[in-house]
Amino acid sequence: MSQDPVTRAGRFRAAGGLSVNRLGYGAMQLPGPMIWGPPADRDAALAVLRRAVELGVEHIDTSDAYGPHVANELIREALHPYPEGLVIATKVGVVRDAYKTFNAEAGPEALRAQVEENLATLGLARLDLVYLRVGGDGMLFPAETPFEESFGALARLRERGLIRHLGLSGVTVEQVATARETAPVTFVQNRFHLLDRDALDVLRYCEEHGIAFVPYFPLVSGMLNPGIDKSRLPPGLRMTGEQEATLDAIAARHGATRARIALAWLLATSPATLLIPGTRSVAHLEDNLGAGSIELTGDDITELDKFA
C-alpha cells in the first residue's frame, strides 16, 4: 500500500456512486477575517489549494457565501480547468448580510439563484455535490421555508442536470429520512468533533445507509491548539487539564500534533467519515493530511472517546 497519508486514509464510496479519498479540504478559512472579503495573502491561499490537490485531495468543500464569492473564485483561479476526479462540494440555503452574518434563505427561487451563482463563480456547468444548509443546530436560525419544500427545489434542479449529488448539513435523522423520500441523499455534513458528539445518531444512520458523514469544525475551530486562552471559550469547548494531558500524551506517542490526533480519531470513529479540515497555511495543510498516517491503538481510542 502507498505510504501517502491521503491514500492511506482510504476511500469512501457513497450509495449514489460518488467516491473520494476520505481526507479532503475545507475552503472556509480562505477569505479574510470573519469569512469576509479577500485573503490577506492571495498567493498563499492559491498555494494551499494547489498543494492540497498535489497531495491527493479529491474533495474540496466550499460555499458561495464564503467571502461572499471569494472562496469559489480562489478555487477557480487555482485549479480550473479542474483535474479529473476532483469533487467540489458547495452549500446553499444561506446568504450573508451587510453585518457579515450568515442567514438562512431557502425559498425555491433563492436556492435556484444560489446554485446559479455557485456555477458561475466556480466555472462549472454542473455542481458535483450541493448541500442544503439547514438551521437548528445552533449555528444558523432555521429558514422560514419548510424543509421539504427547500429540498424538493434542489431535487428539481438535480433533475434538470445542474446538480449531480445532493447533501444535507445541520440536520436530524428524521430530516435525512424525510429528504430521502424525495431524492437520494449522498452526503451529510453536521457538527461533530472530539468535544461534541451530539450528531452521533446521524452518523450511525449514515453508516447504515451508505451516506458519507462529513464532520464540520473537525478541529474545534482551532480550539484544541496549545496555549489558547480557555477562559474565552464556551464551557462545552474547554478541555480539562486531564484531557489536555491525555491528548498530549497520545500525540507524543505518535510523534504528532494535537490536530493530527483529533483528525485520526474522527477517521477511526467510523468508515463513513470524510474529513475537510480547513487552513490558510500550507504547513498546517500538510500536518492535517498527515492524519492519514496515524494508526491509533485501541487504548488511544478508548481514552479519546471519553472526551465528550
Residues with a known catalytic role: 66
For cell 419548510, name the residue: 146
For cell 464556551, name the residue: 234
Q: Pull the grid cell for residue 86.
A: 476532483
Q: Tell which residue, 308, 266, 301, has the closest CA to residue 276.
A: 266
Q: Tell which residue, 308, 231, 230, has the closest CA to residue 262.
A: 308
193 - beta bridge partners? 196
**Contact between residue 199 and residue 190 where contact means Cβ atoms under 8 Å apart:** yes
3-state secondary structure of 83: coil
- Tell me whether strands 94-96 and 87-92 are parallel, antiparallel or unpaired: unpaired
> What values do phi and psi take at 60, rounded to 5?
-115, 130
Measured distance CA(13)–CA(130) in Å, rounded: 17
Looking at residue 163, the DSSP 8-state letter turns out to be E
**Contact between residue 250 and residue 300 where contact means Cβ atoms under 8 Å apart:** yes
**Contact between residue 193 and residue 266 where contact means Cβ atoms under 8 Å apart:** yes
